[in-house]
Amino acid sequence: MKLLNFKYGLIVLTLTSFLSCGKHKESATVIHAVTDLSHQFTFYADNRFYQQYMPEGKGVANWVDLSDFDLSNTNLLILLGCDDRISYSKEDVETITGFLNEGGGVMIFGNDKTKSQNELLSNYGSRFVAPAAYPLVAGRSFNLDSIEGNGVSVIDLEKPSLWNMLIKDSKGKPVLVKRNVGKGTLLVSSRELAGSHPSARDSINKTLWKTILPRLAEGKKVDTTKRFRSKGIKQMKFNEDHGGFKMSYTSYMKPYAKEMVNVYKNALPFIEERMGVPLSPGMASHITLLPTGGGGFSSGETIGLAVWWGDFPEKKEGMIEFLTHESVHSWVLPFPEVWNEPIATYIGDLVLMDSGYQKEGLTRIENTIARATRIDPEMKNYDIHGNLTGTGSVLNDSEKNDIHWGKTFWIFEELRKENPDIISDYFKAKRVHVKEGSVKEYDMNETVRLLSKAMDRDMFGWFNDIGVKVNSEKPEIK
Ligand SMILES: [Zn+2]
């Protein structure tokens, strides 16, 4: 690190005027952008960058091995990140360099903490090394008053003369640079200079990116009449049929696949038993592995699992809870539960207990309930969304969330004392009585009606006593 810092002394770069070349005609470069999420899954990576900064172009996502994506009709490749537990392969680097040589524009984002991104950058003679000093300064031609982005890093350049500095920090060190590689252009930027929120509401430095992006892409023409599409989960290198389910994954996820199949296969019978009914046809029939430690999704048919969740594969407990959670989402569709998130994890904890982690499952349940009893020891004053229905104070969002989770867990634990099969009996009743078109809205009243059937007694009184206001006249289910 010391050596790298020393190199700064040698960097003599002036801010390049990006626009003022004069020779640039305002040619409308059509952008076909590919955002890579195969090395690091985030919801943002699923096309948010493109939505924020180049809505007039076309953007698609890459879920597969980078070398399996046909980049022939692409002129911009966006590499937002790579989880440090994996890295870019030799084939990846060849693909990126080949694309640059043909005139493509490549953006590599990172900072001084992103090990794998810095490894990739070292192939092109650069790497992020240290925090930048503020304020940041853009080349004059950008005509920008300020640059947004906190926690930006400065870049060390092996051969500074190869690079153009577009943004520097207050000490003159580069934070956004570009260079030619073959006929193409490589741009290296601190990750913090662009948005990152899954809602795409944080379009920082919009003017900057809107200026830069067409220039990056202009080295390569794309054909708008030809197909340009995402390459998704079902096109991954590995697609295995495991009988009850299929699993798709990339080369990068291969080291984790076998263990995941084992955990899923072991958990599935317990999930089925807890749910009491089989999955609706086609649901949760496809699993994919996501290169992230947090977050996942269920689209009904496909479940995406964060491969390093809860320290998987070293630890299995968190993964059992998590994959059950996502499975339950698929199970209940098309009628999400009123307690859709907490009930999914609650069943995950029951399955954890079934899977031999009795104590761990129980502890997780008790801890979740404690989040609610801290606020309302009697469990009488709030509905399951944390709205005040009895006496006490109005809750803030975080407290409401604690009630939502804790009270849901508590309700099912109370019911389970009387009927150990409450969950499966409830979902059996739901499967019989709730069909497409049978209820307008699957709400709390309908839910309590079904719980009454599952408990074989009228539960409306009890729910009203515990602050969950329901009315037995309301349900459409009789
Ligand atoms: Zn969920």
The two tokens of residue 239 are: 């697609």
Distance 35 CA to ligand 1 centre (A): 25
- Exposed, middle or buried, 85 (CB in 10 Å: 0-12/13-18/19+)? middle
pLDDT in single tens digits along all 478 residues of the chain: 333 333 333 333 445 444 444 444 445 789 999 999 999 999 999 989 999 998 888 999 999 999 999 999 999 999 999 999 999 999 999 999 999 999 999 999 999 999 999 999 999 999 999 999 999 999 888 888 889 999 999 999 999 999 999 999 999 999 999 999 999 999 999 999 999 999 989 999 999 999 999 999 999 999 999 999 999 999 999 999 998 889 999 999 999 999 999 999 999 999 999 999 988 777 878 999 999 998 889 888 899 999 999 999 999 999 999 999 999 998 888 899 999 999 999 999 999 999 999 999 999 999 999 999 999 999 999 999 999 999 999 999 999 999 999 999 999 999 999 999 999 999 999 999 998 888 889 999 999 999 999 999 999 999 999 999 999 999 999 8
| C-alpha of residue 348 to centroid of ligand 1, in Å | 11
The candidate with the shortest Cα–Cα distance to 232, out of 63, 70, 469, is 63
Instruction: Count Cβ neighbours within 10 Å for each residue of 154-173 and write b for 16 or more, e otherwise.
Output: bbbbeebebbbbbbbbeebb
**Distance in Å, CA 366 to ligand 1 centroid:** 20
**Cα(34)–Cα(59) distance, rounded to whole angstroms?**
6
Which domains are seen in the chain, by residue range?
2-217 (3.40.50), 235-465 (1.10.390.10)
Q: Distance between CA 332 and CA 129 in Å, rounded?
A: 48
Residues with CB under 5 A from ligand 1 (ion): 341
Residue 84 C-alpha to ligand 1 middle, in angstroms? Answer: 25
Structural Rg of the chain based on CA atoms: 27
CA 298 – ligand 1 centroid, Å? 8
Tell me the pTM.
0.84
Q: How far is the CA of 253 from the centre of ligand 1 (A)?
A: 22
Cross-strand bridge partners of residue 60: 34
Collapsed DSSP state (helix, strand, coil) of residue 361 = helix
User: Ligand 1 centre from 454 Cα, in Å?
Assistant: 24
**Span from the CA of 321 to the centroid of ligand 1 (angstroms):** 11
